[in-house]
Amino acid sequence: MTDPSPRPTRVDEVADALRSRILEGALGPGVALRETELEAHYAVSRHTVRRALALLVAERLATSRPYSGVTVAGVTVDGLIALQQLRCALESEAVRILRASHGDDWPAPVLDPVETAVEALATAGREPSDWRAVERAHALVHSTLVRAAGSPRITEAYDALDTELSVFLRHIRPDLDARRLAEDHRGFLAAARREGAAAVRDHLDASTALLVRRLADPDDAS
C-alpha cells in the first residue's frame, strides 16, 4: 500500500531546521538569516533557501524588508496583543458554532476530546524544566476545542498561529503550573458551554494581560 503523505522536500527540511532553531532560542530576534550562509550550511541552492525563508515569513517567524534581507522576527507587546486578538476571534467563532449546534449540552463526541486534553494538561511537565510540555498541552486544549466546531478553515487558521505563539512564550518563559492551568480550563470549558463567546473573550483577555505584563517585565512571575 502506498503511503499517501508526501515526503518533505529540501525546502521543508531547511524551513523545519530554521524553525526549530528559532523556537529553541538558538536564533534570537533580529538575527539576520543570510542566504549565502544558509546556502552553504545546508548545501542547497539559493532558490531553496529563498523558498524556505518565505515559509518562515508567512508564519511570522521571520521578517523580510527590501534591501535589508530576512531577519528573525522580534517579540513585541503590540505583536502579542494582535496575535491574541486573532486567537480570540477564531476561538469565539468556534464556540459560537458549537453552541448553535448543541446549545450548552454538548454531546460526548464533541466534549470528550476537549475534556481529555484538559486532563492530559493536569499531568504535563513533571519538572520545572518541562514548561514546554505544559505549554504544548495547554495549546492542545484550545486547539481541540476549536477543532470540535468542525470547521476546517477555522481549524487551519487557528493551528497556523501556534508556532508564532510558541515564540512569544519561549521569550517570556511564563510560570506554567499544570494542575492550576487544568483547573482553570475546566472552569473555562464549563463557562464556554454556558456563555459562549463571552467566556472565550474573558479567558483570553486575562491570559493576554498576564503575558503582556510578563513580556514587559520578564522578572514578574505573577
The secondary structure of 164-197, three-state, reads HHHHHHHHHCCCCCHHHHHHHHHHHHHHHHHHCH
- Residue 200 domain flag: yes
Specify the amino acid at residue 217: D
Give 139's contacts (C-beta < 8 A, 6+ positions apart).
162, 165, 166
pLDDT of 5-48, one tens digit each?
567 799 999 999 999 898 887 898 899 999 999 999 999 999 99
Residue 33 confidence (pLDDT): 96
Instruction: Give the pLDDT confidence of 197-207 residue by residue, as tens digits.
Output: 999 999 999 98
SS3 130: helix
- What are the tens digits of pLDDT across the range 114-158? 999 999 999 987 665 677 788 889 999 999 999 999 999 999 999
Q: What CATH number did the domain enclosing 53 receive? A: 1.10.10.10
pLDDT of residue 1: 44
- Asked whether residue 208 carries a pLDDT value surpassing 60, the answer given is yes
Size (the chain), residues: 222
Round the average pLDDT of the chain to a whole number and report it: 89
Q: Residue 43's domain spans which residues? A: 10-72
Q: How many structural domains comprise the chain?
A: 2
Q: Give the cell for residue 148.
A: 470540535
Q: Are residues 114 and 35 in the same domain?
A: no
In a domain, 106, yes or no: yes
Confidence of residue 183 (pLDDT cuts 50, 70, 90): very high
Q: How far is CA 131 from CA 29, 79, 104, 123, 167, in A?
A: 21, 22, 33, 12, 13
Q: Are residues 44 and 88 in the same domain?
A: no
Say if 2 falls within a structural domain: no
For residues 194, 182, 211, 99, the Cα torsion angle rounded to the nearest 10 degrees is -20
Residues 97 and 149 reside in one and the same domain: yes
In a domain, 63, yes or no: yes
Q: Please give the residue that has the higher pLDDT: either 173 or 165.
A: 165
Strand (E) or helix (H) holding 70: strand 69-72
Of 72, 101, 120, the domain-final residue: 72
Phi, psi of 71 (to 5 degrees): -130, 160
* Euclidean distance between CA atoms 28 and 167, whole angstroms: 10
Domain-ending residue, one of 40, 56, 72: 72
Question: Is residue 191 one of the residues assigned to a domain?
Answer: yes
Copy the grid coordinates of residue 214: 510578563
- Whether residue 103 sits in one domain with residue 40: no
Three-state secondary-structure class, residue 206: helix
| Domain finish residue from 72, 102, 123 | 72
Choice between 217 and 215, residue whose per-residue pLDDT is larger: 215
Q: Give the whole-angstrom CA distance, residue 188 versus residue 198.
A: 11
On whether both 63 and 84 belong to a single domain, the answer is no
The answer to whether position 84 is within a domain reads yes
